[in-house]
Homo-oligomer: A and B are copies of this chain.
Amino acid sequence: MAEFRYRFNVNWVDTDALSVVHFSNYFRYFEKTEEAFYASTGLDHRKESERHSVAFPRVDVRCSYEFPCRFGDEVEVSLKLADIRDKAVNLNFEVTNVTGGRLSARGAVTLVCVDTGKWKAVSIPPELREVYSKLS
């Protein structure tokens, strides 16, 4: 799998008074897609993380917006692995407004693997590296 794709429709609560999806919700769409990707791999990312006493907080996120999404629009988010290092993962996202036939936004998220006890960066456990490697 070179990339993971996830489709859903924009919910009413995601919109704001300009009738478009609020910009902060794109980060929720990224996360939702990441969760759907983990679920698709068959490995329980969260349980595996807990077993290794690690968590993956986001340390750097960004998004640029090109075309709005509106209530009910079908959206497809694609997730790609940009880069994986010893202790960190870079993920790239693209949100396509399928209904509008346009790229809506591009984003990137950096996750760091931290020990949940000391909250220090540690090496990504092999089983979880494996999960991310399915994206390349």
**Chain A positions near chain B (C-beta within 8 angstroms):** 9, 11-13, 15-20, 22-25, 27-28, 31-32, 35, 39, 44, 46, 55, 57-66, 68, 70-72
Contacting pair B62 A61 (CB below 8 A): yes
List 21 contacting pairs A-B, 8 Å CB cutoff, sorted by A: A12-B17, A12-B31, A12-B35, A13-B16, A13-B24, A13-B31, A13-B32, A16-B16, A17-B19, A17-B71, A24-B24, A24-B28, A24-B31, A27-B27, A44-B72, A46-B71, A59-B64, A60-B63, A60-B64, A61-B62, A61-B64
Contacting pair A65 B57 (CB below 8 A): yes
Contacting pair B72 A46 (CB below 8 A): yes
